[in-house]
Amino acid sequence: MQNILTLCIGNICRSPLAQVLIAREFPDRMVWSAGLGALVGEPADPLSVALAAEQGLDLRAHRAQQVSSLMCQRADLILVMEQHQRAELERRYPQVRGKVFRLGASDIADPFRMPRPAFETAYADIARGVADWAVRIRQLG
């Protein structure tokens, strides 16, 4: 589990937050994020940047990128925010089957264009998912 990819739709709200949280847990591993329909080149949503900053994490340099076959090949583990994202990723890139999992116990709602409370809920769900996955990743080595 040296290469971990986090994935959402636009790659500006949820997956960047998951990326920095996982990277904080595993500073020696390669962690990156992408989107199924990425807003390529766009910075992280200002509310994601603000929530990250409140936790001592910096998303200011983030730029959205579209998921690619090469990214999927490089990843040992791919964590998505919603079950339908897993299905879509496996449809586009069948070779990822077996290494794509949902980050949370249930789908993590997209806070895009929503008020701050939606981002706070998403952040809390992502943080819980990262904490749960950190235990699993450490067990796997």
Q: Could you tell me the CATH number of the domain that includes residue 133?
A: 3.40.50.2300
Q: How far is CA 74 from CA 18, 23, 111, in A?
A: 18, 16, 28
141 pLDDT exceeds 90? no
Mean pLDDT of 42-54: 97
Rounded Cα gap, residues 3 and 54, in angstroms: 26
Per-residue model confidence (pLDDT) at position 140: 86
Mean pLDDT of 105-116: 97
Task: List, as own/partner pairs, every contact residues 110-117 make where C-beta atoms lie below 8 angstroms and the sequence separation is at least 24, other chains included.
Answer: 110/8, 110/9, 110/13, 110/14, 110/81, 110/82, 111/13, 111/14, 111/45, 111/47, 112/9, 112/10, 112/12, 112/13, 112/45, 116/47
Q: Give catalytic residue positions.
A: 8, 14, 110
Mean pLDDT of 45-64: 97
Mean pLDDT of 64-88: 98
pTM of the predicted protein model: 0.97
DSSP code, position 43: B
Domain that holds residue 54: 3-140
Mean pLDDT of 76-81: 98
Calculate the dihedral angle through the C-alpha atoms of 20, 3, 98, 8, rounding to the nearest 10 degrees: 30
The total domain count for the chain is: 1
